[in-house]
Amino acid sequence: MTRSELTEKILDIKREKDWSWKYICEQIGGMSEILVVGALLGQMKLVKPLARKAASLFGLSAAEQRMLNEVPYRGTAMPPTDPLLYRFYELVMVNGPAWKALIEEEFGDGIMSAIDFDVAIDREAHPKGDRVKITMSGKFLPFKYYGNEQGVPETGVREE
């Protein structure tokens, strides 16, 4: 079985049992809903205790359970073709240069981690239609200046 076949099996069981992602995440627990759903969709890994819970919930074999604990090959082709995913891509293409300029002005020369990272998705009531509120928080990782001489900073943290 391939990882994509396991994802399809999990989605088939989810549909068959009429489970919501919320219900599944409550049963597995242990970490963010986004990480649990991401793992079940093949983009993250579940640590062994959570892989056991998922395997029990979905009635998976020992081999399938181990597969949930493997580090996956992450990502999809770009640009994405799904309209919702494409909007995220569009947000970055249009707003990315401004985000980059503002982050660098505040923090210095570096990046926001996508590994040491938190994200929350919330519904926000609005009179013209509910809004999706996404809050992202990633650790700032300054670039390291290799071979720096005396007087040259070691990293790209903002200079005062």
* The one catalytic residue among 56, 61, 113, 137: 113
At 148, the pLDDT band (50, 70, 90 cuts) reads: confident
37: Cβ contacts below 8 Å, ≥ 6 apart? 21, 24, 25
pTM value is 0.83
pLDDT tens digits, residue range 46-101? 999 999 999 999 999 999 999 999 999 998 888 999 999 999 999 999 999 999 99
> Residue 145 has what pLDDT?
85
Q: Which helix (H) or strand (E) holds 123?
A: strand 110-124
Q: Is 90 a catalytic residue?
A: yes
Alpha-carbon span 71 to 35, nearest angstrom: 13
Q: Is 113 a catalytic residue?
A: yes
* The one catalytic residue among 66, 74, 87, 131: 87
Q: What is the architecture of the domain spanning 83-142?
A: 2-Layer Sandwich (3.30)
At 127, the pLDDT band (50, 70, 90 cuts) reads: very high
Q: Which of 39-43, 58-62, 109-113, 156-160 has the lowest average pLDDT? A: 156-160
pLDDT surpassing 90 at residue 17: yes
pLDDT surpassing 90 at residue 144: no
149 vs 55, more confident: 55
Write down the domain spans for the chain. 3-68, 83-142
CA proximity to 42, closest of 9, 11, 78, 3: 3
Q: Which helix (H) or strand (E) holds 61?
A: none
Q: Is 131 a catalytic residue?
A: no
Separation in Å, CA 30 to CA 14, 24, 54, 101: 19, 12, 11, 36
> Residue 159 has what pLDDT?
80
Report which DSSP code applies to 43.
S
> Residue 150 has what pLDDT?
83
> For the domain bounded by 3-68, which CATH number is listed?
1.10.260.40
Alpha-carbon span 110 to 75, nearest angstrom: 22
Q: Which residue has the tokens 């809903």?
A: 33
Average pLDDT of the chain is: 94
Q: CB of 65 within 8 A of CB of 52?
A: yes
Is the CA virtual torsion 37, 45, 51, 63 positive or negative? positive
pLDDT surpassing 90 at residue 149: no
Alpha-carbon span 138 to 113, nearest angstrom: 5
pLDDT surpassing 90 at residue 7: yes
3-state secondary structure of 103: helix
